[in-house]
Every structure is written in C-alpha cells, then in structure tokens.
C-alpha cells in the first residue's frame, strides 16, 4: 500500500541508481574529501533531502489526516511528492529545496535567485491530475489544492500570492494545513479514504509502480548521507588548514620584513 511508502522514495531510488553507475572515488579523492555523489545524482539527492524534510514535518499531523509520499501517477515514472487528505481538504505538495535561495513570488511567477521557474504551472497540473484520478476512482468530484513547500530558503519576497497555488516555507506548512479559516472542518468521506491509498488509483501499473523501492534503498541512502557528511567535514578541515597556512606564511613574511 502507498501508506507505507517513505518520503522521497522515487528520488532516493533514482539517486542510488545513478550513483552506483558512476566510477567509485579513488583514495586521493577520499583524502581530499571529494563528495561521493556522482554529478548526475546530485540534484536527485538534494530533492530527496527536501522531501524527507517535508515528510518529517507532516509527521506532526494527527490521526485525522492521511499522508502519502512519493505517489507514482499516470503511466510513467513521475510522482507526486506528498498527498495529504484531512479535515480541511485534499492537497498535493510539491517540495522545492533551495539552500540559501532567495525567492520572489508573484501572482503568476515564482523566481529563485532571479531565475524564472515553472513551479506554479507544474503544481497546478499536478493537482488537476490528482483531482481527475481521485474523481474517476471514487465516482464523486474531488477538489485538490496544490501546495509548493520551500525548503532551506534564505529569504522570500511576496509581491502577490497566486490565486490557485499555495506557496509556503516548510515551517509554515502544518499551521496552514490545520487552520480553520478556510472553511468548516469535515471528515473526509470514507469512500475517498478507501481509494486514496490504493496504487491503482494513481498509476496505470498499480502496485508494480511502487515496487521500485524497498528497505535496502532506505539503508543505502542513509549510508550515502553519512558519507556525504564525512566528505564535507574532510573538505572543511582542508580549507581550515589552508587558511592557517596562509595566515602563518603572511605573518612570517611580515615579521621577516620588519626584522630587516
């Protein structure tokens, strides 16, 4: 069942596959702290970290809520980062991780560090696709609200909020989902809850679409995260050593000049 699928499952599987296909680091690369991440796997790794961060936030929801992660949809290998069903509605969540990024948000555009993105369009399309799938499976109209959750951003400037896409920072997510101001809180229909966790509701291949991830992937990704962290620590030590050496050299030259 989809309810057991962990956050970032699709991205983690892709990241591990790409990393396994790349040549391993040599001993010199390890000594100098080169990242164990292959270049092709880097964006998938960062995306997985974003989905894991949002998944951890969603654990704060109580039993009134049903939360699904990395939901395969359609006929191919695309997925929805998170689907949330609760007393304030049905939501698709698209996670965007941009460490240190500066966000500009307008009614029709979201920019990252001054660069235009298609995030709003994709979020709308994702929610519409989810709505159609749930409506077809349950036989009753289901409205789905798209949410974009920003992870690790430094600053967000809001010129005007989009009318049909909710854009939040990760720390705002739970409070927004639980807010009562958008209307009366109602329990999701039992028919909706019975279909939302079924793989065939979402993907043409049904359960086969979620068989690309198992516990070994989770363990391998955890190991990769530790390796990435160790490599970063090694690089930091080298940077510190270079700075100290540069300072010592400069000090030696200065004192030598004074002595003469």
**How many whole angstroms separate alpha carbon 118 and alpha carbon 138?**
30
Is there a domain that residue 248 lies in? no
- Residue 222 tokens, joined: 């955890």
Is there a domain that residue 45 lies in? yes
- Residue 220 tokens, joined: 């391998």
Is there a domain that residue 107 lies in? yes
Pairing of the two strands 79-86 and 110-112:
unpaired
Three-state DSSP at 98 gives coil
Residue 248 has what pLDDT?
77
Q: How many Å is the maximal CA-CA distance in the chain?
A: 91
Bridge partners of residue 67, in order along the sequence = 84
Residue 183 zone, left/alpha/beta (φ > 0; ψ -120 to 50; rest): left
Nearest to 170 by CA among 228, 236, 99: 99
* Residues contacting 1, CB < 8 A, separation 6+: 197, 198, 199
Which tens digit of pLDDT belongs to each residue from 175-187? 999 885 555 556 6
Is there a domain that residue 258 lies in? no
Q: Indicate whether this model's pTM tops 0.85.
A: yes
Q: How confident is the model at residue 6 (pLDDT cuts 50, 70, 90)?
A: very high
Is there a domain that residue 254 lies in? no
Is there a domain that residue 225 lies in? yes
Which tens digit of pLDDT belongs to each residue from 70-113? 999 988 778 999 999 998 899 999 999 999 999 999 999 999 99
Range of the domain at 223: 2-233
What's the domain count of the chain? Answer: 1
């Amino acid at each position: 069942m989809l309810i057991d699928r962990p956050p970032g499952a699709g991205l983690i599987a892709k990241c591990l596959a790409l990393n396994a296909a790349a040549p391993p680091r040599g001993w010199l690369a390890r000594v100098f702290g080169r990242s164990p991440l292959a270049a092709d796997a880097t964006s998938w790794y960062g995306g997985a970290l974003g989905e894991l961060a949002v998944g951890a936030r969603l654990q704060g929801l109580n039993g009134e809520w049903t939360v699904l992660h990395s939901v395969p949809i359609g006929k191919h290998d695309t997925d929805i980062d998170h689907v949330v069903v609760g007393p304030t509605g049905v939501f698709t969540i698209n996670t965007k991780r941009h460490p240190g990024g500066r966000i500009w948000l307008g009614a029709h555009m979201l920019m990252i560090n001054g660069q235009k993105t298609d995030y709003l369009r994709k979020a709308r399309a994702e929610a519409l696709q989810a709505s159609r799938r749930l409506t077809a499976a349950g036989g009753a109209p289901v409205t789905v609200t798209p949410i974009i959750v920003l992870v690790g951003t430094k600053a967000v400037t809001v010129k005007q909020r989009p009318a049909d896409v909710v854009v939040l920072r990760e720390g705002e997510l739970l409070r927004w989902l639980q807010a009562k101001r958008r209307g009366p809180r109602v329990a999701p229909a039992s028919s909706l809850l019975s279909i939302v966790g079924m793989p065939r509701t979402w993907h043409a291949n049904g359960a086969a679409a979620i068989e690309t991830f198992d516990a070994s992937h989770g363990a391998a990704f955890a190991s990769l995260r530790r390796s990435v962290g160790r490599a970063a620590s090694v690089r930091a030590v080298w940077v510190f050593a270079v700075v100290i050496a540069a300072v010592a050299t400069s000090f030696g030259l200065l004192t030598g000049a004074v002595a003469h």
